[in-house]
Every structure is written in C-alpha cells, then in structure tokens.
Amino acid sequence: MKSLIRISISLLVILSMFRASGFAANEKPLGMVVQATYAQVDQSKIAIGTTVYPGDTVATDEGGTLRLKLGTSQIYLLGASSATLQQTTGTVQALVGRGTVGFASNGVDKVELELPQGILRAEDGKAGYGQATIVSSHEVIISAYRGSLILDNDGELHTIPEGKSFRVTMDLEPAAPADPAASPSPASPRDSYVVHPRRRRRLIFDIILVGGTAAIGYALWNELTESPSKFSN
C-alpha cells in the first residue's frame, strides 16, 4: 500500500512538471536582456541573455542599469527604477513604476511607456528615442533625444520635440457633479444607479534644461548610435 502511495505521488509530481513546462513553452517571449548591472526580474537576479515575458516586472538597484532588446527596439532602466512589461496588439508596453525608463524604437517594432500622465511613444512609423523620469505621483520629466515623442493623454496628443525636455505635471480636474435626476428612488434602490464620471487629467508642460538622469540617458543614446549593431541587431 505504501509503495502504491509513493508511486501515485511521484506520478502527480511528474504530471505537474509537464504542465508547467508546457505552459512556459506556449508563452511567447518579448525579448532578452543585453545589459544588466544590479538588476532583477520579479525579485530574482537577472543576467545577460535572460528572456523576458509579458507580466514580468524588471527593476534596478541604486547605481544599476538594465537594457532589454525587444525585436529591433529596446527598453532601458537607469538606477533605482522599475517597470512591468505588457503586450498589446503589435506593441510592447512598459508600465513605469518608479525611477527612469527609456526606449529606442525604429518605427517597426513599437514600444510604449505607460505613465500616470498617459502613454508615451514615438511618432507613428518613425524612429524615436527618449525617456521618462517619475518625480512624484503627479509629476514626470520627459526627454526626447531622437525624433519627436507623443504623449497620449486619453486621446489628447502632446508632442515632445526632438532635443527638448519637459516637466509634465498632472492636475486632476474635479469630476462633473452627478445628475440628481439620475439618483435612485427610495422605492426601487436596486433598479437604478448613479454613474460617477471619471476625473479628467489636465497636463501642464514646462520646458527645462537637460541634466541629471536626462544627461545619463543622452549618453546612453550616443553609445547606441555610435555602435549601430547594438541597436539594430
């Protein structure tokens, strides 16, 4: 009897391993790590050549650097930064959690940064290279190094010209008051409800001089452009 129990447990373990490996095999990777210093993926130390997948959270410690190759485009993190990778139709998106995250897109393999202020990307069909630094929950600094960048605030498009850096502050406008006529009647509270409109983001743009993390990002851009193979291969 004990032997049969041991055999049954072993079979269950083997089956679970096959299912786990089959699930991983069916999940298509987004890209791979090409540069890593003091960096992690999902709190595990990351190394050059590591494959990244949708849902992975990548992060760097103070003084760290991480660069990901995603097809012919790239995403990078400077020190004390984090981002969660996602994929929509034909586009890789990085949800920026903290710090400084940048991207280099050749216009074919599209990449975007999701910020509290909206979605940051290169102009449609054009190459672009830039970065965003989270200053606070309502403030971000955006720098465009190569090509113009577009910040999409729920359909309201703002252009960041090449060579410029902007401090973008988010001001949440008060939601419109609810219509009293739409309030539920005391007689039938379950048959009706009030829809509360979402607060709209209003963005304030202030041009600033390049410095600090923006200068580090610009140096990284020079490194990529001086060695085209680092970007295009």
The CATH number linked to 82 is 2.60.120.1440
| 8 Å CB contact between 109 and 71 | yes
Note whether residue 13 is domain-resident: no
Note whether residue 85 is domain-resident: yes
Domain count, the chain: 1
Domain hosting residue 110, numbered range? 31-174+190-232
Note whether residue 84 is domain-resident: yes
Kindly give the pairing relationship between strand 91-98 and strand 82-88: antiparallel
Note whether residue 20 is domain-resident: no
pLDDT tens by residue, 69-82: 999 999 999 999 99
Note whether residue 24 is domain-resident: no
> Given this model, what pLDDT does residue 102 score?
97
Note whether residue 104 is domain-resident: yes
> Given this model, what pLDDT does residue 216 score?
62
> Given this model, what pLDDT does residue 86 score?
96
Note whether residue 200 is domain-resident: yes
> Given this model, what pLDDT does residue 150 score?
97
| pLDDT less than 50: residues of the chain | 2, 5-24, 183, 185, 188-196, 227-233
pTM to 2 decimal places: 0.74
| 8 Å CB contact between 116 and 98 | no
Note whether residue 1 is domain-resident: no
